[in-house]
Amino acid sequence: MLFIFNGGNKMGGQKRMPLGDAVKYAQRFCKRIDPYTEKYEIAGSVRRLCETVGDVEIVCLDNPLNSMENLFIKGQFRGIVMNGKRMKRFIYPASNLQVELYITSPEDYGRMLAIRTGSSAYSHHILATTWNRKGWSGTIDGLRRKKECDHKGKKWVIKPEFAENPTKPPVFTNEYDFFDFLELNWRPPQYRNMVSRDEEYNYST
């Protein structure tokens, strides 16, 4: 498959491939993980229908009857370079395309799909900024009230006294639930290609 540089979509000199080729890789990967998931969706620049793609991101729910861990046994899945419980990373040797698999909970699925769809600037300056203004922080377990968390480095961590019974947001079964919670109009993924904070007004209305 041909790799190209596209002036408007180039990121730090990283090689990118045409959207159509990236979709084929993503679909092939999804077919492989399908028996081990309850559901999955392709996110990132593929979902935003960018002309070229630097990597593939997929958000999924683990299948409780046939866990993802059954597939990613150490050394049994070629190309795996990170094998965490919440995130797994792969590199296709032939194309050097990176695939990131984000395993989330049913309660946080809609938020995670929105975040991983991006763009990075949109997720940070629109989504995260909005939930922060509403008094929430993003933790590894989902949104939690800021007053019940400590900010340690770049992470929000639940305070010990709230660990057993934290205040939780509504369940985000899908993106619509999450956008409603933030009181933002849902925007189709292809219209989330924000690249800088200077565009914040255009994307928050």
Ordered by start, the domain boundaries in the chain are 17-104, 108-203
Residue 5: its pLDDT value, please?
27
Q: Does domain 17-104 have CATH number 2.40.50.100?
A: no
Contact criterion met (CB below 8 Å) for 49 and 60: no
Residue 15: its pLDDT value, please?
81
Residues 52-77: what's their mean pLDDT? 88
Query: Could you name the CATH architecture of 108-203?
Result: 2-Layer Sandwich (3.30)
Q: What percent of the chain has pLDDT above 90?
A: 75
Give the closest residue to 95 by CA, choosing from 191, 177, 1, 205. Answer: 1
Q: Which residues pair with 4 in a beta bridge?
A: 16
Question: Looking at the whole model, is its pTM more than 0.85?
Answer: yes
What band does 205 get if pLDDT is binned at 50, 70 and 90?
Answer: low
* Higher-pLDDT residue of 119, 5: 119
Give per-residue pLDDT as tens, 12-31. Answer: 345 899 999 999 999 999 99
